[in-house]
Amino acid sequence: MIKPPALKPGDRIAAVSLSWGGPGAIPIRYEAGKRQLEQTFGVELVAAPHALREPEWIQANPAARADDLMWAFQDPSIAAVVSTIGGDDSNRLLPFLDLETLTRNPKVFIGYSDTTVTHLACLKAGLVSFYGPAIMSGFGENGGLFPYMVESVRRVLFQSDPIGPIPENREGWTVERLEWTDPNLQNQKRKCQQSEGWRYLQGSGLTEGRLVGGCLDVLDWMIDTDVWPDASVWEGVILFIETSEMGVPPEVVSRFLRRLSGLGILQSINGILFGRPGGHKLSPDEFDDYDDAILSALSRDGIDIPVITRMDFGHTDPMFVLPYGVSAQIDSDNHTFTILESAVTASAT
């Protein structure tokens, strides 16, 4: 895997709208994310040529969205590329992507949810990319950024030392929905629920593997596409998955894992990380059902790999950043999760 250069203050970062045209629909939310990203990390955010177009135009022009991504990777003045928001339409970019452009121009690419499609393209191109916050959801957080997320972004993207142990979020977590179109709510912090810690469902000892995964809803669409990882890529992987804000039920998680079993993937991986289930209508009382669904799917094939659930990535906030293709370790006995290497190279001074 090719690691991109680390980010540093003063870098120019390109915003791309690869799925939904969120910035055109709700410009005040995009501007809030831009402002908080720039002020917190000392970078400059520039919009790709079509990133701020109205959502109807964005939806009708997947080739232009792909062109924006290629533009951002080819422009030597751009140090990183960040998704503005997710959606459900990134798969339409695939015919227009040039994977060699990604390989030849390694730089940080970050986003989550439907951006999973582009992460798989980066993985196919051999480039480390980053499952983490987007401009409008994450960097646009109401009332300022969560310190937990800020620390993760700094550790993973702005320094080239091994990332090390990932702490559990104890600040509280939230899926509260505040209307993005109301500027009066932008400065109102969302209500958080108490963090009860990650759950180590099964496994023992130390387990290592490279990180591959994304949003389960999107991964399921990508099976059999050109960017779906080859069988050899899945060998020894620690699979990270999380569910979208749609609040898919536990049986969907179980069916997805059973589908991976039919492909021989579930038998090849070394562990599973599962993000706290997304969806503002879900109660934490229902989280046990997701744990049970995962264990049930594994037990059908007698698979006894380590599983950690209710982790802080995906469609609840705050989130930590996960780099694709980088080695990580689960310590099932001492209940720790560690990213063993750096995800970026030292940047030029």
Q: 41, exposed or middle or buried, with CB in 10 Å at 0-12, 13-18, 19+?
A: buried
Nearest to 206 by CA among 111, 333, 296, 301: 333
pLDDT value of position 171: 87
8 A C-beta contact, residue 46 and residue 14:
yes
Q: Report whether 77 contacts 100 (CB < 8 A).
A: no
Q: Are strands 322-323 and 336-339 parallel, antiparallel or unpaired?
A: unpaired
Instruction: Report pLDDT for 349.
Output: 59
All residue ranges of the chain with pLDDT < 70 are 348-349
Residues in CB range of 232: below 8 A, 6 or more apart: none
Collapsing DSSP states into helix, strand and coil, what is residue 79?
Answer: strand
Q: Is 249 exposed, middle or buried (0-12, 13-18, 19+ CB in 10 A)?
A: middle
Q: 65 with 93: CB under 8 angstroms?
A: yes
Question: What CATH superfamily classification does 12-162 receive?
Answer: Murein tetrapeptidase LD-carboxypeptidase, N-terminal domain (3.40.50.10740)
First to last CA, the chain: 23
Predicted confidence (pLDDT) per residue in 141-170, tens digit = 999 999 999 999 999 999 999 999 999 999
Distances (CA, A) of 343 to 62, 155, 273, 326: 30, 10, 18, 6
Query: Whole-structure pTM over 0.85, yes or no?
Result: yes
**183-339: in CATH 3.50.30.60:** yes
Token pair in block for residue 349: 């001074």
What is the residue extent of each domain of the chain? 12-162, 183-339
